[in-house]
Amino acid sequence: MEIIITEFDDASKRVTLIGKLDIAGAGKIELPLATVAGSRKNVVVDMVGVDFIASIGIRHLVIAAKTVSRANGKFLLFNPTPLVTEVLVTAGLEQMLPIVRSEDEVLAALRG
């Protein structure tokens, strides 16, 4: 699992994840994702490159979303694959971890 953190705009960070969000991948993102989530900025997690996700990976996303939410920020998932999307929806998290499919949707969600 690779994690790349960049600025999205003045108020938001983009976290790009690439690889498997399994027990090993979750361990690699735990600290950097928690740090970004605590930065009091919106967080957009680019999921395009995540080809597998298990519950331990979901847990870290939810923990980060809770942290961002406590600071009244927004936490978005950008374009997960259909199977990863199915996992997130099956877990009942589509409201808590909103999925956006385009840059325009990201901007609208951040402004909304």
Partner 1 sequence: MLPCEADASSTWIRPVREQTETRSFGMSGSEVVAIDGWLEEVCSRWGASERAMFSARLCVAELAANAIEHGVASTDADHMVVTVRRRSNGIELEFLDSRAPFDPTGHARTAAAQSVKSEAPGGYGLTLLHAFATGLTYSYDGTYNRVRLTVGSN
Instruction: Check residue 90 for interaction with partner 1 (CB under 8 A).
Output: yes
Q: What's the order of all strands across the beta sheet hosting 42-53?
A: 2-9, 12-21, 42-53, 75-78, 99-100
Q: Which window, 9-17, 40-48, 83-91, 104-112, contacts partner 1 (CB under 8 A)?
A: 83-91
| Interface map 38-77 toward partner 1 (x if CB under 8 A) | --------------x-xxx-xx--xx-xx--xx----x--
Q: Could you say which of 31, 34, 48, 83 contacts partner 1 (CB under 8 A)?
A: 83
CB of 7 to partner 1, least distance (A): 23
